[in-house]
Amino acid sequence: MFPTHRPRRLRNHPQLRRMVRENILTTSDLIYPLFAVPGEAFAKEVTSMPGVYQLSVDKIVEEAKEVYDLGIPAIILFGIPADKDTDATGAWHDCGIVQQATEAVKKAVPDLIVMVDTCLCEYTSHGHCGYLEVGDLSGRVLNDPTLELLKKTAVAQAKAGADIIAPSGMMDGFVGAIRQGLDSAGFEDIPIMSYAAKYASAYYGPFRDAADSAPQFGDRRTYQMDPGNGKEALKEIALDIAEGADMLMVKPALAYMDIIWRVKEATNLPVAAYNVSGEYAMVKAAALNGWIDEERVVMETLTGFKRAGTDLILTYHAKDAARWLQN
């Protein structure tokens, strides 16, 4: 009798396949990114990200209600300020655009978790994630002075009502500095989700259109990680854990599934994956051409992130996925 083992036995019926499925995506896994801009009743679609918009605060609130009604537990807010300067004033000012949006959403939809991206690149005139030496055209961000601005930014965001602080600038010591800043301002209960292993990636291109945050010169390779490195991700997460991170993120997701797996194996903290703008844009472009089945491709990809070990997924497909999961 050959073969003894026939794995196909468990694939012969849809209900049986459902019973033995190892990894299942749920709406609870999803976090939806939103881009806040000044103004009123304003919505502008991002050309390279069909279905994603820059939204004024009133529109962000409408969107937050829709997200909540779909059962998605959280949003993450990014901001595009009216003015940019070398001190990233729009990031840490009490009236900063993300602070305004956070306050408005928490007032209108108190049960929706509001995460905030804590970085300076959307607010600096040069588009880098921190302070530069005056006249520096290399983009080598000054680490320790930048930490002070990040602390101020996180405290302003917490004051506005943010539920989770998500620092993304890849500065050394940024989790520790922000933890200390939050604690000394009385926000010891606000968790930090660190963009712990964030790579210098071409997949952020469409986001930089959406957030108007492309560096004016140089690039981010002196602070974001080199795509060739795997073990270094474990060094980064060990540091962030020691500094008090509550959750860890790997970013981008698709080309870094091995990193998601290694990070999950190395820690018992919740791990998130950021299914970034370029990953979204590729799927959208192919789907709009009729070249792929968007629903099946998206659900397969998101399930793949779960299989790789993520607990949470930041994705621009979150609303669509939540709808598809309802059917």
Active site residues: 198, 251
Pick what 204 binds: Zn ion, ligand PBG, none; C-beta below 5 to 8 Å, kind-dependent.
ligand PBG
Question: What are the b/e assignments for 155-191, b being 16+ CB within 10 Å?
Answer: bbbbebbbbbbbbbbbbebbbbbbbebbeebebeebb
Stretch that binds ligand PBG, among 62-70, 202-210, 258-266, 285-293 (CB under 6 A): 202-210
Binding to ligand PBG (CB under 6 A) within 203-262 occurs at 204, 207-208, 220
CB 58 within 8 A of CB 148: no
Q: Which is nearer to ligand PBG, 40 or 203 (CB)?
A: 203
How far is it, in rounded angstroms, from Cα 150 to Cα 253? 25
Stretch that binds Zn ion, among 49-57, 122-130, 153-161, 251-259 (CB under 5 A): 122-130
Q: Which is nearer to ligand PBG, 108 or 140 (CB)?
A: 140
How far is it, in rounded angstroms, from Cα 54 to Cα 279? 19
Q: Does 97 participate in binding Zn ion (rule CB under 5 A)?
A: no
Q: Is 201 left (phi over 0), alpha (psi -120 to 50) or beta?
A: beta
CB 109 within 8 A of CB 68: yes
Pick what 276 binds: ligand PBG, Zn ion, none; C-beta below 5 to 8 Å, kind-dependent.
ligand PBG
Pick what 90 binds: ligand PBG, Zn ion, none; C-beta below 5 to 8 Å, kind-dependent.
none
Q: Does 129 participate in binding Zn ion (rule CB under 5 A)?
A: yes
Cis peptide before 50 (omega within 30 of 0): no
How far is it, in rounded angstroms, from Cα 115 to Cα 103? 12
Q: Which is nearer to ligand PBG, 60 or 273 (CB)?
A: 273
In the list 124, 277, 301, 310, the residue contacting ligand PBG (rule: CB under 6 A) is 277
Pick what 207 binds: Zn ion, ligand PBG, none; C-beta below 5 to 8 Å, kind-dependent.
ligand PBG
- In angstroms, what CA-CA distances link 34 with 13, 124, 261, 274? 40, 19, 27, 14
How far is it, in rounded angstroms, from Cα 110 to Cα 102? 10
In the list 121, 249, 259, 276, the residue contacting Zn ion (rule: CB under 5 A) is 121
How many residues make up the chain in this entry? Answer: 327
Stretch that binds ligand PBG, among 115-123, 134-142, 151-159, 305-313 (CB under 6 A): 115-123
In the list 54, 153, 168, 310, the residue contacting ligand PBG (rule: CB under 6 A) is 168
CB 258 within 8 A of CB 310: no
Q: Does 129 participate in binding ligand PBG (rule CB under 6 A)?
A: yes
What is the torsional sign of CA 201, 203, 205, 210?
A: negative
Binding site for ligand PBG (CB under 6 A): 117, 119, 121, 129, 168-169, 204, 207-208, 220, 276-277
Binding site for Zn ion (CB under 5 A): 119, 121, 129, 169
